[in-house]
Chains A and B, each alone.
Chain A
Amino acid sequence: MAAGVTGGPFDGDSGEMPAVDSSRVLYADPGLPDRIFRGVARGGGGLVLTVMLLVGGFLLYRAWPALDRAGWSFLTTESWEPDAGSFGIAAVMVGTVLIALVAIVVAVPLAVGAALYISEYARPGIRSTLISIVDLMAAVPSVVYGLWGLFFFEGAIIPTARWIATYLGWFPPLSVVGVDPNDPLSTATVYTSSTLIAGIVVGFMVAPVICSVMREVFTQAPAGEREGAYALGATRWGMIRSVVLPFGKGGMIGGTMLGLGRALGETIAVYLIISPVFVIQWHIIQSGTSSVSSLIALRYGEASPFAMSALMAAGLALFVMTLIVNFAASSIVARSRSGAASDA
Chain B
Amino acid sequence: MTLAPETPPSVTAERRTVLPASRPRPAEPGGERRRSLALGRATDTYALLGAAGAAVGLTALLFVWLLPFNGAVGFACVGYVIFLGLYALLVSFDEDGATVRDRLAGVVVRTAGLLLLAALAFVIVYTLWEGRRALPHLNFFTEDMKLSGPLEPLSVGGILHAIVGTLEQIGIALVLTVPAGLLCAVFLNEVPGRFARFVRTVVEAMTALPSIVAGLFIYATVILTLGADRSGLAASLALSVMMLPIIIRASDVVIRLVPGTLREASYALGTSRWRTAWHVVLPTARSGLTTSVILGTARGVGETSPVLLTAGFSAEMNADPFDGSQVSLPLATFEFVKSPEPNMIARGFGTAATLMALVLLLFIAARIIGGRAPGQLSRRQTHRRVLASRRDAERFATRTRTGTDGHKPAAPSATPFRSSP
Contact = CB atoms under 8 A, between A and B. Distances in A.
Partners in one complex: yes
B355 A139 contact: no
- Mostly, the A contact residues are helix
B184 A48 contact: yes
Given A160-B71, A265-B210, A268-B305, A109 B112 contact: yes
Contact of B208 (A51, A152, A163, A322): A322
A326 B205 contact: yes
B210 A315 contact: yes
Interface stretch (A67-75, A80-88, A117-125, A281-289): A117-125
Contacts of A297: 212, 305, 308-309
Nearest to A45: B187
B359 interface: yes
B211 A41 contact: no
Interface string B98-121: 110110111011111111110110
A139 B295 contact: yes
A300 B218 CA distance: 12
Given A114-B113, A160-B71, A319 B209 contact: yes
B212 A296 contact: yes
A109 B80 CA distance: 15
A26 interface: no
Interface stretch (B132-140, B194-202, B376-384): B194-202
Interface stretch (B5-13, B82-90, B272-280, B390-398): B272-280
Interface stretch (B122-130, B153-161, B317-325, B401-409): B122-130
Given A121-B106, A139-B363, A293 B71 contact: no
A330 B130 CA distance: 40
Contacts of B117: 114, 130, 133-134
A311 B112 CA distance: 39
Nearest to B349: A147
Interface residues of B, number: 103
Contacts of A265: 208-213
Contacts of A318: 210, 213
Contacts of A152: 126
Nearest to A116: B109
A154 to B, nearest CB: 13
Given A45-B188, A53-B202, A141 B74 contact: no
Contacts of A312: 216, 220
Interface residues of A, number: 100
Residue of A3, A59, A265 contacting most chain B CB atoms (<10 Å): A265
B214 interface: yes
B71 A159 contact: yes
Interface stretch (A14-22, A223-231, A233-241, A247-255): A233-241
Given A45-B184, A160-B74, A141 B412 contact: no
A184 B232 CA distance: 51
A173 B202 CA distance: 38
A51 B217 CA distance: 11
Given A52-B245, A55-B209, A144 B102 contact: no
Contacts of A117: 109-110, 112-114
Nearest to B105: A237
A159 B183 contact: no
B24 interface: no
A238 B98 contact: yes
A27 to B, nearest CB: 16
Interface string B222-252: 0010000000000000000100110011000
Of B275, B304, B330, which is in contact with the most chain A CB atoms at under 10 Å from its CB? B304
Contact of B123 (A31, A133, A148, A323): A148
Contacts of B352: 141, 143-144, 147
Interface in A277-312: 293, 296-297, 300, 305, 308, 311-312
B333 interface: yes
A48 B191 contact: no
Nearest to A264: B210
Contact of B119 (A33, A204, A238): A204
A146 B241 CA distance: 23
B152 to A, nearest CB: 21
Contact of B99 (A110, A235, A311): A235
B105 A156 contact: no
Given A41-B186, A163-B69, A151 B110 contact: no
Given A1-B271, A45-B184, A267-B210, 19 more contacts: A4-B271, A37-B272, A38-B191, A41-B186, A44-B184, A45-B183, A48-B180, A117-B109, A130-B113, A140-B356, A143-B352, A148-B126, A148-B127, A150-B337, A156-B73, A207-B119, A261-B208, A265-B209, A318-B210
Interface of A: 1-5, 30-31, 33-34, 36-38, 40-42, 44-49, 51-53, 55, 58-59, 62, 109-114, 116-118, 120-122, 130, 132-137, 139-148, 150-152, 156-157, 159-160, 162-163, 204, 207-208, 211, 235-238, 240, 261, 264-265, 267-268, 272, 293, 296-297, 300, 305, 308, 311-312, 315-316, 318-319, 322-323, 325-327, 330, 343
11 contacts: A1-B270, A34-B274, A37-B274, A41-B183, A45-B191, A133-B120, A156-B72, A159-B73, A208-B116, A211-B116, A327-B208
Sorted nearest first, the 9 A-B pairs with minimum C-beta distance are: A113-B112, A141-B302, A159-B71, A265-B210, A117-B113, A37-B274, A44-B183, A235-B102, A41-B187
